[in-house]
Structure 1
Amino acid sequence: MRKLTYIILGFIIGAVLTYYFCPRHVGEEMGLKIVKPKGVITVNEAKELNKNWTDFRKSAVDSAAKKQGRNQDDRSTYWSLDVIENYLAYAKAESDSLGYDMTGIRIYLGVYGKNAGQAKKDLSTMFIVPTGKKKTSEASMSLFYAQKGDEDLPTDPLNDGTGGPNGYPQ
């Protein structure tokens, strides 16, 4: 009977230790709350923006694709979540090593040139560029510090996403 008491006591101690030392949800543990970011729009607003692009830009953009023998140009780019997360970690580390604080990203529209090969020649692309500021020391000789806005950082941008659907689903 005494062995059974030790076994039960061992299970209770193990359960208590597991409860306190095993990780739970990171947000709960650190007191973080997920907040909807500024700038999030509704699906209906996204559909309206896409419809406006179709109404006012599609024919001009697709005319360049027709010169290359394609019916239409890509109008979106897809990167997997793993690629985006890996790129952000890479860009933060690279920016830091170059003496910059990465504070955001900027997405540019681009066009592949004549040397891109027949599949991409003169067609649209999108690429992501890290933005931020040069790291500065806390102390300054100047009483007035001109705060510059975030600028593109000299870290390699991300390209080579895959062309996405030609229009947001209506």
Structure 2
Amino acid sequence: MKKLGPLVLGLIIGAAAMYFYCQNGEAEMTTAQELVKPKGVISPKEAKALDQAYNLKHNIINDSLFKKSPDGGDNRSSWWSLEDIQNYIDYADNQAGELGYTLDGLRVYLGSYPAKPGEMAGLTTMFIVPTGKKNASQGAIFALQDPSGDITDADPLNMAQQGKPPGSNYPQ
């Protein structure tokens, strides 16, 4: 019976120490995730200026091709859900690893659907391509890293939703 007291006291002290340790650890984790503004973030005013400056080029191309989507105009924007983007990043990261690359970014390209029979022929699209560096051999101490570039064997992401209507300017 005499030995039971120190055991119970030890359990109580241990539980209290664990409680305070876990609470302190949570506080450190929440403060450690600091919000970082990415490079290249622009203001809405600058985005409007970029969009308006593109109008002349878009109109010349659109007028010369006479291509219209069934719901009015050529595409000016593309939209992917956050879930689709996150799933694509995960998919591209896995595929890059299988191809011997380290995923380090994404590149967005403008494209146009080929002249095949169908409603979308000639209309503008945007697609995302994963970029990365080829993994160096593990045995080399001073291995030269290839520059980051498109991972040409990886699957790009297309088929975003277009603007409403497709020719709408920023903001929608």
Aligned-residue offset at 1:115: 2.1
Q: Which amino acid aligns with 1:38?
A: K
Structure 1: gaps (5+ residues): 1-12
Q: Which amino acid aligns with 2:149?
A: E
Q: Which amino acid aligns with 2:134?
A: K
Give a deviation string over 1:101-132, Cα, whole Å, max 9, x none. Answer: 010011111100122622x1110000000001
Q: Which residue of 2 aligns with 1:20?
A: 22
TM-score (norm 2): 0.74
Preserved CA contact (<8 Å) 2:69 2:123: no
TM-score (norm 1): 0.75
Q: Which residue of 2 aligns with 1:160?
A: 159
% identical aligned pairs? 37
Q: What number of residue pairs does the alignment pair up?
A: 152
Q: Is 1:62 matched up with 2:69?
A: no
What SS does the corresponding residue of 2:116 show, helix, strand or coil? helix
The 5 Å alignment of 1:29-40 reads 31-40=32-41
Preserved CA contact (<8 Å) 1:95 1:102: yes
Aligned-residue offset at 1:40: 0.3
| Counterpart Cα distance in 2 of 1:155 and 1:26 | 38
RMSD after superposition: 3.1
Give a deviation string over 1:111-162, Cα, whole Å, max 9, x none. Answer: 00122622x1110000000001110135437x683x4321111210000001
Preserved CA contact (<8 Å) 2:136 2:143: no
4+ residue segments displaced more than 6 Å:
none
